[in-house]
Structure formats: C-alpha cells, structure tokens
Amino acid sequence: MSVPNKDTVIAVIGSGAMGSGIAQVAAAAGHEVLLFDNNEEALERAMDKLRKIMDRQAEKGRMSRTDADALLGRIKPSRQFEAIAAAGLVIEAIIEDLEAKKNLLSHIEIMVDEECIIGTNTSSLSIASICGACSRPERVLGIHFFNPAPLMPLVEIIPAVQTSGDTLVETRNMIDSWGKTTVTAKDTPGFIVNRVARPFYGEALRIYEEGIADIPTIDWAVKEIGGFRMGPFELMDYIGNDINYKVTETVFEAFYYDPRYRPAFTQKRMTEAGWLGRKSGRGYYNYAEGAKNPEPTKDDVLGKKIVNRLLVMLINEAADALYLNISTRDGIELAMTKGVNYPKGLLQWADELGVENVLKEIEALQHMYGEDRYRPSVLLRNMVRDKTCFYPEKIMEN
C-alpha cells in the first residue's frame, strides 16, 4: 500500500459509534469496508444506524439516492474474523482497554497479509505497548479519529518507537485521501488533543468546586465571552462523564500522577451515580422532557475571570506540548481547532493576549494555590525572557 488506492480493502474492528463512523468515512472515500463485530446485535444496530444516516443524506439532498445506496453497499458487516485477511489497512475501534487491544492486535496480525498496516484508534493508551503485542510492530501505529468520525475533520496519527517511517507516511497519505486533516503526535499520554484539552474540563470543575461560579454560569462564560461552541459541562455531558473521567484518569496515571491532570471528585461521583450526561438522561444538566435547568448568572466581570483562568491553563498546556515536541506549532494549532473546535489556536491566542501576560496569570495562580498544578511551562518563561512570541512571522507581516 505505497500510495492511496481506492481498491485497498479497509477493515474496521468494532461496530460501535466510532467504528461505524470510521467505516462510513472509508466507504465515502470509495473503499470496500469490512465492518467486523462478534456481537450480532451490535452489528445489526450499526448497520441500521448507517442506513438511517444514508436515508437522511439522500432526503436532504446532500447525496443522491444512488450514491447513498452505493456507499452503504460498500460496507460489508461480518462476524467472521477471517474475512479481514483481504484488508490492506485494519483499524481497531474496540473498548479503551490496553489488554483487550493488545490481545486483538496479536490476533489481527496472524490473519492479515505482511504488507497490511494495523491501526489502533485509542485516544490515550500507549501505542508502544500495543505494538509490543505484535511480532511485526513496525507496521502498527495509532490512528485516532474523533467522534463523530464522519463530521470531525481531525485524525491524530501516532507512531510508536517501533513504527517504521514508511508506515507513518503511507498511513497519513491514506487518511489524507479520505478528506481528513492529519497531524502527527508523539506517543505520550493523551497525544495532542486529550492532553492539551484537560484543563478545559479540569479547571472548570475546580472553579465549580471552589464555589466561584455554578455550572450554567461557567458554561455561559466560556461560550459567550470565550467564543467556544460548547461549555465544558455541556461537552462533558455530550462526551459522557464516564468516558471523560476515564480519559482524565488514564492521562493522570500515565503521567506518574502529575497534579496538572488530577481528576475531580465531582466527576467521579457523577460517574458513580450513573449521571453520565445525555446518554443517561442526567448529567450536569437534566435532559428529561420538560426538565428546567438553572439559569446562568450573566456577570461579565465574573465571566471574564472564568475564561481567563481556563484560557491561560490551556495555553500553558499547549506551550508545554510544543516545548516537549509532542507535535509542531502548527500541528498543535490544527489539532485544537479541528479536533475540538476551539475558536482559534491556543498559541495564536497567547500572542494576542501577550505571552508575558499569560505567564503573569499562571504565576499568580501558582502563588495563590502553592500547587504544582499551576507551574508555568518553561517555554513561556524562555519566551518572556527572550521577548519572543509563537508567530513572529505575523509581526513581520504587519
């Protein structure tokens, strides 16, 4: 699979929301797709959902009926694992469990051709560890789509230390040919998006736990003043508190319990109570029919205080990701704007606010709390010392 080829068969393992979404993306790009699941009911649900999606696309005129039917016809559901032998690219999209993924990949590589690339759709697990379960780890890497895969443009491509350069190039070329925006990330906990975005949730929860503002007010401030599409609590309810908490917990543990990533008891209790968000009908908000949720306190002074605190923490995390070579400057910016729909790149935002002002805000938080959670990135300190910014070429243009 040296160049993107529509004749390449794509196999997707797992027919949940992510797996069926990836199958739809690959089929839309013209590939024959094998969608495997050993659970017959799950597979039937996935195909029924895909049929309804294609019906809506045709009804709304986004696709012709013929094209919608053809796309659906390219997705072949199967409970026969042996069928993946025809694939040139296999992407697993099963539960976020390291041992389960390692076990699956060790079975995948037995079934497929030696030239087949194997991808794991993990959002935060070690790619090197998953690769370690394979006898030919050089053809294995992370291919992290975002939910919903057909709508979200970003895909993080994560090579492990074992992954070959050819595998990385071929995979990026293939996913790019599907109309996606790919960024390469270092194999570190959370990669780019799930690492840099942690303060969006964690600091919002901290502000709530401290009693600075209630949930609707925090969400209102982040949307109306910050310009984000969703507030942190709305987004956690949309993602699912169980999923969001698990990612935070995984990143926290993987970073040797760095306090920057410490989970919040509030979210742990929500998960324990089964208040998972939209999917359970109750989360930080009540989604029952006729339910009335509290109104925000629309105080601009308070709102700006909330947004500034969240924003400097996000910028600090983005700066640290750049400092530690998790990705390039532009890769980090693309990841946050295309992967989680931030209104602008965090490093660009830092330049607009002034890197020195961002550093002062973080230092003030560190002084007040005395916690390593608020330690400033070395890169920010160096930039203030050297009087530089993230986008010097824009200054030159002006």
Is the Cα torsion angle 103, 108, 114, 118 positive or negative in sign? Answer: negative
Round to whole Å and give the CA distance between 254 and 197.
16
Q: 124, 126, 194, 327: which one is catalytic?
A: 194
Per-residue b or e along 113-148, where b marks 16 or more CB atoms closer than 10 Å to that residue's CB: eeebbbbbbbbbbbbbebbbbbeebebbbbbbbbee
Q: Is 156 a known active-site residue?
A: yes
Report CA-CA distances (Å) from 101 to 108, 127, 344.
10, 10, 34
Q: Is 170 a known active-site residue?
A: no
Cβ neighbourhood burial of 385 (10 Å; 0-12, 13-18, 19+): exposed
Q: 32, 92, 109, 156: which one is catalytic?
A: 156
Round to whole Å and give the CA distance between 320 and 186.
13
Q: 20, 121, 123, 244: which one is catalytic?
A: 123
Give the three-class secondary structure for 293.
Answer: coil
Do residues 145 and 155 lie in contact, with contact meaning Cβ atoms separated by under 8 Å?
A: yes
Q: Which among 136, 123, 121, 131 has a CA at the least distance from the CA of 160?
A: 131
Cβ neighbourhood burial of 220 (10 Å; 0-12, 13-18, 19+): buried
Give the three-class secondary structure for 316.
Answer: helix
Q: Is 194 a known active-site residue?
A: yes
Q: 144, 241, 244, 361: which one is catalytic?
A: 144
Other C-beta atoms within 10 Å of 74: how many? 19
Length of the chain: 398
Count Cα atoms within 13 angstroms, Cβ side, for 386. Answer: 10
Sheet of 181-184, strands arranged across: 75-78, 33-36, 10-13, 89-92, 117-120, 140-145, 154-159, 181-184
Q: Is 241 a known active-site residue?
A: no
For residue 148, say if its preceding peptide bond is cis, omega within 30 degrees of 0: yes
Give the three-class secondary structure for 9.
Answer: coil
Question: What amino acid positions are annotated as catalytic residues?
Answer: 123, 144, 156, 194
